[in-house]
């Protein structure tokens, strides 16, 4: 009876129990430990990311642009995990560097960062930082960077691409241009708010007051208003300012000149036809004025009825001004438009 009843005790509900092989337990244990480790690693990454974002938000609450040295750059920008974009300005603001362009670019960068910090769209997806050469020399060496200022975008994932470096030489460093570039790289649109600048209003008020005062003092003799020479000079000044690129400078905000950080050589003429320096506009203005003066002297020598010897001297001076300065102007044009075949006197 006992032998026959044993099989029936091994049945439960008509189904026979099946046991796992004893060799599968180490595999299950290893799989369980692996899952626990992966879950712990993911949790660790999430905690690390949360700490980084919290730290960045704390810095942003105190200052729109926070400065970084080598350690902070590697921790918050280069090292994963990261789910935010970082705009970095590489600059050299120390007085001994004598980088006037860096100070001008820093002012525009500050306007842009403040516009983002105090906007209603501000979030933890975009931050602004700065690396000064004297505080992060190792960062400049790591990125093989040899010029300043330079703006770069570091995306949340992957390495920066070529378009993540702002083309400062061609576009300039105005806050509006930087905002447009950031919108292209991050889809974050920043409306730039500039602090009120009353210098233009004050200058206009002073000009109106000066003209009004002059008219009042000369109220009994206003014949100078009909002076053709005076109005011609005013017109020429406006023409010189416009043809030299002053309006382009006002819109794009280019640097005054460029100093090579390796040899210290200063360039006043931009090497590309797509950009220019402020000093270049001044040079073109002077050249156009000299050529115009030469043409005026030639016209005076041809139309006046004075002494022949004096007229000959005026003609030679005018011709010399036109020939020399036009040749100089043509050489500048040739240096900017590479491949232009024509030159005159000066190459």
User: Do both 70 and 121 map to the same domain?
Assistant: yes
Token couple for 318: 């005018």
Q: Of 135, 164, 186, which residue is a domain's last?
A: 186
User: Do both 174 and 233 map to the same domain?
Assistant: no
Q: Of 186, 209, 240, which residue is a domain's last?
A: 186
DSSP code, position 95: G
User: Do both 172 and 56 map to the same domain?
Assistant: yes
Q: Distance (Å, rounded) from C-alpha 321 to C-alpha 1?
A: 134
**Residue 294 is assigned to a structural domain of this protein:** yes
Burial of 255 (C-beta count, 10 Å sphere; 0-12/13-18/19+): buried
Please report, rounded to a whole number, the percentage of residues in the chain having pLDDT higher than 90: 28
Name the pLDDT band for 88 (thresholds 50, 70, 90): very high
The pLDDT of residue 13: 45
User: Do both 63 and 171 map to the same domain?
Assistant: yes
Burial per residue of 135-152, b for 16 or more beta-carbon CB atoms within 10 angstroms, e otherwise: bbeebbeebebebbbbbb
User: Do both 244 and 168 map to the same domain?
Assistant: no
Mean pLDDT is lowest, of 123-132, 155-164, 212-221, for: 212-221
User: Do both 96 and 178 map to the same domain?
Assistant: yes
**Residue 108 is assigned to a structural domain of this protein:** yes
**Residue 245 is assigned to a structural domain of this protein:** yes
User: Do both 120 and 239 map to the same domain?
Assistant: no
User: Do both 236 and 154 map to the same domain?
Assistant: no
The pLDDT of residue 219: 76
Cβ-contact 319, 301 below 8 angstroms: no
User: Do both 171 and 242 map to the same domain?
Assistant: no
Q: Of 125, 158, 186, which residue is a domain's last?
A: 186
Could you tell me which residue, 262 or 97, shows the higher pLDDT?
Answer: 97
Domain total in the chain = 2
Per-chain mean pLDDT for the chain: 82
Token couple for 188: 């974050």
Average pLDDT of span 60-89:
90
Q: pTM of this prediction?
A: 0.56
Q: Judge whether residue 183 has pLDDT over 90.
A: yes
Which residues are CB-neighbours of 148 under 8 A, at least 6 positions away? Answer: 90, 91, 92, 99, 102, 133, 261
User: Do both 232 and 153 map to the same domain?
Assistant: no
**Residue 198 is assigned to a structural domain of this protein:** no
CATH number of 72's domain: 3.40.30.10
Average pLDDT of span 29-36:
64
Please report, rounded to a whole number, the percentage of residues in the chain having pLDDT higher than 70: 87
**Residue 299 is assigned to a structural domain of this protein:** yes
Residue 310 belongs to domain spanning: 227-336
Collapsing DSSP to helix, strand or coil, 156 comes out as coil
User: Do both 300 and 169 map to the same domain?
Assistant: no
Name the pLDDT band for 181 (thresholds 50, 70, 90): very high
User: Do both 138 and 240 map to the same domain?
Assistant: no
**Residue 347 is assigned to a structural domain of this protein:** no
The pLDDT of residue 199: 76
**Residue 78 is assigned to a structural domain of this protein:** yes
Token couple for 33: 């430990």
| pLDDT, tens digit, 9 for 90 and up, residues 283-313 | 999 999 999 999 988 988 888 887 888 888 9
**Residue 32 is assigned to a structural domain of this protein:** no
């Amino acid at each position: 009876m006992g032998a026959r009843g044993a099989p029936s005790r091994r049945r439960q509900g008509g189904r026979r129990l099946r046991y796992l092989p004893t060799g599968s337990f180490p595999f299950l244990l290893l799989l369980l430990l692996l899952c626990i480790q992966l879950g712990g690693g993911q949790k660790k990454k999430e905690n690390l990311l949360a700490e980084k974002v919290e730290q960045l938000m704390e810095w942003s609450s105190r200052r729109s642009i926070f400065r970084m040295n080598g350690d902070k750059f590697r921790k918050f920008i280069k090292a994963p995990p990261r789910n935010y974009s970082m705009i970095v300005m590489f600059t050299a603001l120390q007085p001994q560097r004598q980088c006037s362009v860096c100070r001008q670019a820093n002012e525009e960068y500050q306007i842009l960062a403040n516009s983002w910090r105090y906007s209603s769209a501000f979030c933890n997806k975009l931050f602004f930082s700065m690396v000064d050469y004297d505080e992060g020399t190792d960062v400049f060496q790591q990125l093989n960077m040899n010029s300043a200022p330079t703006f770069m975008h570091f995306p949340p994932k992957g390495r920066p691409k070529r378009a993540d470096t702002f083309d400062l030489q061609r576009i300039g460093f105005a806050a509006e241009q930087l905002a447009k570039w950031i919108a292209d790289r991050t889809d974050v649109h920043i409306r730039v708010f500039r602090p009120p600048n009353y210098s233009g209003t004050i200058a206009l008020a002073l000009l109106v007051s000066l003209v009004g005062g002059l008219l009042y003092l000369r109220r009994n003799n206003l014949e100078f208003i009909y002076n053709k020479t005076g109005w011609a000079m005013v017109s020429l000044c406006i023409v010189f300012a416009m043809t030299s690129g002053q309006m382009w400078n006002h819109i794009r905000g280019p640097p005054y000149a460029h100093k090579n950080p390796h040899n210290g050589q200063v360039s006043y003429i931009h090497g590309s036809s797509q950009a220019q320096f402020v000093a270049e506009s001044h040079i073109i203005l002077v050249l156009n004025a000299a050529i115009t003066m030469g043409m005026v002297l030639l016209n005076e020598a041809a139309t006046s009825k004075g002494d022949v010897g004096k007229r000959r001297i005026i003609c030679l001076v005018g011709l010399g001004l036109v020939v020399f300065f036009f040749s100089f102007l043509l050489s500048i044009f040739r240096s900017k438009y590479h491949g232009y075949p024509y030159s005159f006197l000066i190459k």
